[in-house]
Amino acid sequence: MKIYSIILIFLLSGCSINITPDTFIYQDKKVETHLDLKHIKSKMTHDHASFDLSELSMETKAGVVLKGIKLSHKDALINIIFFGGSGMKISSSFGVLDRFSKLPANVIWFDYRGAGVSEKKGVLKVKDLQTDALNVFDYSKINLPENIPTLIHGISMGSVLASYVATERNIDALILDSAVSSIPKLVENLTPDWSKLFSTVTVSPELAIVDNTQIIKNYSSPLLVLVAKDDSITPVKFSKELFDASGSSVKTLAVILNSEHGKPMKKEQTIKAYKKFITKLHRCKNG
Protein backbone atom coordinates (compact mmCIF):
# COMPACT_ATOMS: atom_id res chain seq x y z
CA MET A 1 0.00 0.00 0.00
CA LYS A 2 1.57 3.29 -1.14
CA ILE A 3 0.70 5.30 1.97
CA TYR A 4 2.69 2.95 4.22
CA SER A 5 6.00 3.67 2.46
CA ILE A 6 5.25 7.40 2.27
CA ILE A 7 4.63 7.66 6.01
CA LEU A 8 7.83 5.75 6.83
CA ILE A 9 9.97 7.92 4.54
CA PHE A 10 8.75 11.14 6.17
CA LEU A 11 8.95 9.79 9.71
CA LEU A 12 12.49 8.50 9.26
CA SER A 13 13.50 11.99 8.15
CA GLY A 14 11.95 13.48 11.27
CA CYS A 15 9.41 15.49 9.28
CA SER A 16 5.73 16.11 9.75
CA ILE A 17 3.36 14.85 7.10
CA ASN A 18 -0.17 15.75 6.11
CA ILE A 19 -1.97 12.89 4.38
CA THR A 20 -3.95 14.18 1.39
CA PRO A 21 -5.74 12.37 -1.46
CA ASP A 22 -2.64 12.87 -3.64
CA THR A 23 -0.44 10.99 -1.15
CA PHE A 24 -3.05 8.44 -0.10
CA ILE A 25 -4.35 7.38 -3.52
CA TYR A 26 -1.89 6.05 -6.10
CA GLN A 27 -1.56 7.98 -9.37
CA ASP A 28 0.62 7.15 -12.37
CA LYS A 29 2.78 9.90 -13.87
CA LYS A 30 1.56 8.69 -17.26
CA VAL A 31 -1.33 6.29 -17.77
CA GLU A 32 -1.11 3.20 -19.97
CA THR A 33 -2.64 3.13 -23.46
CA HIS A 34 -4.25 -0.33 -23.39
CA LEU A 35 -4.42 -3.70 -21.70
CA ASP A 36 -2.62 -6.71 -23.12
CA LEU A 37 -5.53 -9.17 -22.93
CA LYS A 38 -3.59 -11.91 -24.69
CA HIS A 39 -0.83 -11.75 -22.07
CA ILE A 40 -3.30 -11.61 -19.18
CA LYS A 41 -5.22 -14.64 -20.42
CA SER A 42 -1.99 -16.58 -21.00
CA LYS A 43 -1.22 -16.22 -17.29
CA MET A 44 -4.61 -17.51 -16.17
CA THR A 45 -4.36 -21.02 -14.72
CA HIS A 46 -8.05 -21.91 -14.66
CA ASP A 47 -9.80 -23.63 -17.59
CA HIS A 48 -9.63 -21.09 -20.43
CA ALA A 49 -12.70 -22.60 -22.08
CA SER A 50 -14.87 -21.59 -19.12
CA PHE A 51 -14.40 -17.82 -19.43
CA ASP A 52 -13.57 -14.96 -21.76
CA LEU A 53 -11.84 -11.61 -21.22
CA SER A 54 -12.72 -8.30 -22.88
CA GLU A 55 -11.52 -4.72 -22.49
CA LEU A 56 -14.03 -2.07 -21.41
CA SER A 57 -14.16 1.71 -21.78
CA MET A 58 -16.63 4.25 -20.47
CA GLU A 59 -16.87 8.02 -20.10
CA THR A 60 -18.13 9.26 -16.74
CA LYS A 61 -20.63 12.07 -16.34
CA ALA A 62 -17.65 14.29 -15.49
CA GLY A 63 -16.08 13.49 -18.87
CA VAL A 64 -13.29 11.21 -17.60
CA VAL A 65 -12.55 8.08 -19.64
CA LEU A 66 -12.19 5.03 -17.43
CA LYS A 67 -10.99 1.70 -18.80
CA GLY A 68 -11.27 -1.77 -17.38
CA ILE A 69 -11.70 -5.47 -17.97
CA LYS A 70 -14.57 -7.93 -17.97
CA LEU A 71 -14.33 -11.61 -17.15
CA SER A 72 -17.36 -13.48 -18.54
CA HIS A 73 -17.91 -16.96 -17.08
CA LYS A 74 -20.01 -19.39 -19.09
CA ASP A 75 -21.60 -20.86 -15.93
CA ALA A 76 -21.90 -17.64 -13.93
CA LEU A 77 -24.21 -17.64 -10.92
CA ILE A 78 -23.26 -14.12 -9.79
CA ASN A 79 -21.93 -10.82 -11.09
CA ILE A 80 -19.05 -9.13 -9.24
CA ILE A 81 -18.19 -5.44 -9.55
CA PHE A 82 -14.66 -5.16 -8.18
CA PHE A 83 -12.90 -2.17 -6.59
CA GLY A 84 -9.18 -2.71 -6.03
CA GLY A 85 -6.78 -1.23 -3.52
CA SER A 86 -4.70 1.91 -4.00
CA GLY A 87 -2.04 1.14 -6.61
CA MET A 88 -3.76 -2.11 -7.59
CA LYS A 89 -3.75 -1.76 -11.37
CA ILE A 90 -5.19 -4.34 -13.76
CA SER A 91 -1.93 -4.56 -15.73
CA SER A 92 0.11 -5.56 -12.67
CA SER A 93 -2.51 -7.14 -10.37
CA PHE A 94 -4.52 -9.21 -12.83
CA GLY A 95 -3.66 -12.35 -10.84
CA VAL A 96 -6.78 -11.67 -8.76
CA LEU A 97 -8.84 -12.36 -11.90
CA ASP A 98 -7.34 -15.85 -11.96
CA ARG A 99 -8.73 -16.37 -8.47
CA PHE A 100 -12.11 -14.99 -9.46
CA SER A 101 -12.17 -17.40 -12.41
CA LYS A 102 -12.41 -20.23 -9.87
CA LEU A 103 -15.84 -18.88 -8.94
CA PRO A 104 -19.00 -19.15 -11.08
CA ALA A 105 -18.88 -15.38 -11.59
CA ASN A 106 -18.76 -12.60 -14.13
CA VAL A 107 -16.38 -9.83 -13.03
CA ILE A 108 -16.03 -6.19 -14.05
CA TRP A 109 -13.02 -4.18 -12.82
CA PHE A 110 -12.03 -0.64 -13.81
CA ASP A 111 -8.75 1.09 -13.04
CA TYR A 112 -9.22 4.25 -10.95
CA ARG A 113 -8.80 7.57 -12.73
CA GLY A 114 -5.13 8.45 -13.14
CA ALA A 115 -3.96 4.86 -12.71
CA GLY A 116 -3.37 1.99 -15.12
CA VAL A 117 -5.37 2.53 -18.30
CA SER A 118 -7.82 5.12 -16.95
CA GLU A 119 -7.53 8.80 -17.85
CA LYS A 120 -5.85 11.29 -15.52
CA LYS A 121 -7.66 14.60 -15.16
CA GLY A 122 -7.10 17.44 -12.69
CA VAL A 123 -6.37 17.27 -8.96
CA LEU A 124 -7.76 14.09 -7.45
CA LYS A 125 -10.51 14.41 -4.84
CA VAL A 126 -12.27 11.76 -2.77
CA LYS A 127 -15.60 12.89 -4.20
CA ASP A 128 -14.26 12.19 -7.71
CA LEU A 129 -13.55 8.56 -6.83
CA GLN A 130 -16.96 8.17 -5.17
CA THR A 131 -18.74 9.58 -8.22
CA ASP A 132 -16.64 7.44 -10.56
CA ALA A 133 -17.52 4.37 -8.48
CA LEU A 134 -21.24 5.07 -8.90
CA ASN A 135 -20.71 5.55 -12.64
CA VAL A 136 -18.84 2.23 -12.81
CA PHE A 137 -21.67 0.48 -10.98
CA ASP A 138 -24.34 1.94 -13.27
CA TYR A 139 -22.34 1.02 -16.37
CA SER A 140 -21.69 -2.49 -15.07
CA LYS A 141 -25.34 -3.15 -14.29
CA ILE A 142 -26.17 -2.47 -17.93
CA ASN A 143 -23.39 -4.74 -19.14
CA LEU A 144 -24.00 -7.71 -16.84
CA PRO A 145 -26.82 -10.30 -16.88
CA GLU A 146 -29.93 -9.16 -15.00
CA ASN A 147 -31.12 -12.64 -13.99
CA ILE A 148 -28.38 -13.35 -11.42
CA PRO A 149 -27.32 -11.49 -8.23
CA THR A 150 -24.84 -8.61 -8.42
CA LEU A 151 -22.23 -8.24 -5.68
CA ILE A 152 -19.69 -5.52 -4.96
CA HIS A 153 -16.22 -6.59 -3.77
CA GLY A 154 -13.77 -4.01 -2.43
CA ILE A 155 -10.16 -4.60 -1.34
CA SER A 156 -8.37 -2.26 1.10
CA MET A 157 -9.05 1.31 -0.10
CA GLY A 158 -11.60 -0.18 -2.49
CA SER A 159 -13.60 -1.36 0.52
CA VAL A 160 -14.49 2.26 1.31
CA LEU A 161 -15.78 2.80 -2.24
CA ALA A 162 -17.59 -0.55 -2.21
CA SER A 163 -19.45 0.36 1.00
CA TYR A 164 -20.28 3.80 -0.39
CA VAL A 165 -21.77 2.35 -3.58
CA ALA A 166 -23.63 -0.31 -1.58
CA THR A 167 -25.45 2.39 0.36
CA GLU A 168 -26.19 4.51 -2.72
CA ARG A 169 -27.42 1.74 -5.02
CA ASN A 170 -29.49 -1.42 -4.67
CA ILE A 171 -27.16 -4.41 -4.60
CA ASP A 172 -27.58 -8.06 -3.68
CA ALA A 173 -24.48 -8.47 -1.50
CA LEU A 174 -21.24 -6.81 -0.39
CA ILE A 175 -17.77 -8.28 0.12
CA LEU A 176 -15.24 -6.28 2.16
CA ASP A 177 -11.68 -7.60 1.84
CA SER A 178 -8.75 -6.33 3.97
CA ALA A 179 -11.10 -3.49 4.78
CA VAL A 180 -10.39 0.02 6.04
CA SER A 181 -12.55 1.07 9.01
CA SER A 182 -11.64 4.77 8.72
CA ILE A 183 -8.77 6.74 7.20
CA PRO A 184 -7.61 8.28 10.52
CA LYS A 185 -7.55 4.84 12.18
CA LEU A 186 -5.59 3.42 9.25
CA VAL A 187 -3.01 6.22 9.46
CA GLU A 188 -2.78 5.84 13.25
CA ASN A 189 -2.19 2.11 12.85
CA LEU A 190 0.58 2.69 10.31
CA THR A 191 2.38 5.26 12.43
CA PRO A 192 4.99 3.60 14.72
CA ASP A 193 4.87 4.63 18.38
CA TRP A 194 8.58 5.53 18.38
CA SER A 195 8.04 8.17 15.68
CA LYS A 196 5.42 10.08 17.66
CA LEU A 197 8.13 11.56 19.89
CA PHE A 198 9.58 13.74 17.12
CA SER A 199 7.20 13.57 14.14
CA THR A 200 3.52 14.21 13.53
CA VAL A 201 1.12 12.79 11.00
CA THR A 202 -2.14 14.58 10.24
CA VAL A 203 -4.96 13.70 7.88
CA SER A 204 -6.55 16.29 5.59
CA PRO A 205 -10.21 17.10 6.39
CA GLU A 206 -11.29 15.54 3.07
CA LEU A 207 -9.87 12.18 4.14
CA ALA A 208 -10.57 12.54 7.87
CA ILE A 209 -14.33 12.35 7.30
CA VAL A 210 -14.06 9.05 5.39
CA ASP A 211 -15.43 6.64 7.98
CA ASN A 212 -16.34 3.22 6.59
CA THR A 213 -17.81 2.15 9.92
CA GLN A 214 -20.42 4.90 9.72
CA ILE A 215 -21.14 4.14 6.06
CA ILE A 216 -21.69 0.43 6.67
CA LYS A 217 -24.32 1.17 9.33
CA ASN A 218 -26.67 2.03 6.47
CA TYR A 219 -26.12 -1.32 4.74
CA SER A 220 -28.42 -4.25 5.56
CA SER A 221 -28.13 -6.74 2.69
CA PRO A 222 -25.89 -9.87 2.84
CA LEU A 223 -22.27 -9.19 3.81
CA LEU A 224 -19.04 -11.21 3.63
CA VAL A 225 -15.97 -9.79 5.38
CA LEU A 226 -12.56 -11.25 4.48
CA VAL A 227 -9.39 -10.45 6.41
CA ALA A 228 -5.98 -12.05 6.86
CA LYS A 229 -5.37 -13.14 10.44
CA ASP A 230 -1.94 -11.47 10.47
CA ASP A 231 -2.85 -8.34 8.48
CA SER A 232 -0.77 -5.55 10.05
CA ILE A 233 -2.12 -2.75 7.82
CA THR A 234 -5.87 -3.26 8.22
CA PRO A 235 -5.93 -5.69 11.16
CA VAL A 236 -8.74 -8.04 12.11
CA LYS A 237 -10.11 -5.51 14.60
CA PHE A 238 -10.93 -3.17 11.68
CA SER A 239 -12.97 -5.87 9.96
CA LYS A 240 -14.64 -6.81 13.24
CA GLU A 241 -15.74 -3.17 13.71
CA LEU A 242 -17.30 -3.14 10.24
CA PHE A 243 -18.92 -6.54 10.72
CA ASP A 244 -20.49 -5.48 14.02
CA ALA A 245 -21.60 -2.08 12.67
CA SER A 246 -23.46 -3.56 9.70
CA GLY A 247 -27.19 -4.08 10.08
CA SER A 248 -27.03 -7.13 7.82
CA SER A 249 -28.95 -10.15 9.11
CA VAL A 250 -27.01 -12.44 6.76
CA LYS A 251 -23.31 -11.80 7.32
CA THR A 252 -20.07 -13.75 7.65
CA LEU A 253 -16.64 -12.80 8.99
CA ALA A 254 -13.92 -15.05 7.50
CA VAL A 255 -10.46 -14.71 9.07
CA ILE A 256 -8.01 -16.14 6.53
CA LEU A 257 -4.97 -17.99 7.81
CA ASN A 258 -1.41 -17.66 6.46
CA SER A 259 -2.19 -14.58 4.41
CA GLU A 260 -1.21 -10.90 4.19
CA HIS A 261 -2.94 -7.58 3.63
CA GLY A 262 -4.86 -7.58 0.37
CA LYS A 263 -4.00 -11.23 -0.33
CA PRO A 264 -6.93 -13.32 1.04
CA MET A 265 -8.16 -14.11 -2.49
CA LYS A 266 -4.98 -16.15 -3.02
CA LYS A 267 -6.09 -18.70 -0.41
CA GLU A 268 -8.37 -21.68 -0.94
CA GLN A 269 -9.98 -20.90 2.41
CA THR A 270 -11.28 -17.69 0.83
CA ILE A 271 -12.56 -19.41 -2.32
CA LYS A 272 -14.45 -21.91 -0.12
CA ALA A 273 -15.92 -19.09 2.00
CA TYR A 274 -16.90 -17.21 -1.17
CA LYS A 275 -18.64 -20.26 -2.67
CA LYS A 276 -20.47 -20.89 0.60
CA PHE A 277 -21.58 -17.25 0.67
CA ILE A 278 -22.84 -17.50 -2.91
CA THR A 279 -24.88 -20.58 -2.00
CA LYS A 280 -26.32 -18.79 1.04
CA LEU A 281 -27.17 -15.78 -1.11
CA HIS A 282 -29.06 -17.90 -3.62
CA ARG A 283 -31.03 -19.53 -0.82
CA CYS A 284 -32.00 -16.11 0.50
CA LYS A 285 -32.99 -14.89 -2.98
CA ASN A 286 -35.11 -18.00 -3.57
CA GLY A 287 -36.80 -17.92 -0.18
Q: Give the tens place of pLDDT for each residue, 171-194.
A: 999 999 999 999 999 888 877 766
The residue type of 202 is T
**What is the rounded CA–CA span in Å between residue 221 and residue 16?**
41
CATH code of the domain in which 129 resides:
3.40.50.1820
Half-sphere exposure of residue 82, counting CA atoms within 13 Å on the CB side? Answer: 29
**Cβ-contact 252, 224 below 8 angstroms:** yes
In a domain, 50, yes or no: yes
In a domain, 264, yes or no: yes
In a domain, 23, yes or no: no
In a domain, 14, yes or no: no
Q: Is the pLDDT of residue 123 over 90?
A: no
In a domain, 109, yes or no: yes
Range of the domain at 101: 33-182+210-285
Count: domains in the chain? 1
In a domain, 6, yes or no: no
**What is the rounded CA–CA span in Å between residue 128 and residue 150?**
23
The predicted pLDDT at position 202 comes to 81
**How much is the average pLDDT of 196-209?**
80
In a domain, 65, yes or no: yes
In a domain, 150, yes or no: yes
3-31 as b/e, with b when 16 or more CB fall inside 10 Å? beeebeebbeeeeebebbbebbbbbeeeb
pLDDT (tens digit, 9 = 90+) per residue, 65-119? 999 999 999 999 999 999 999 999 999 999 999 999 999 999 999 999 999 999 9
Q: Report the percentage of the chain scoring pLDDT > 70.
A: 90
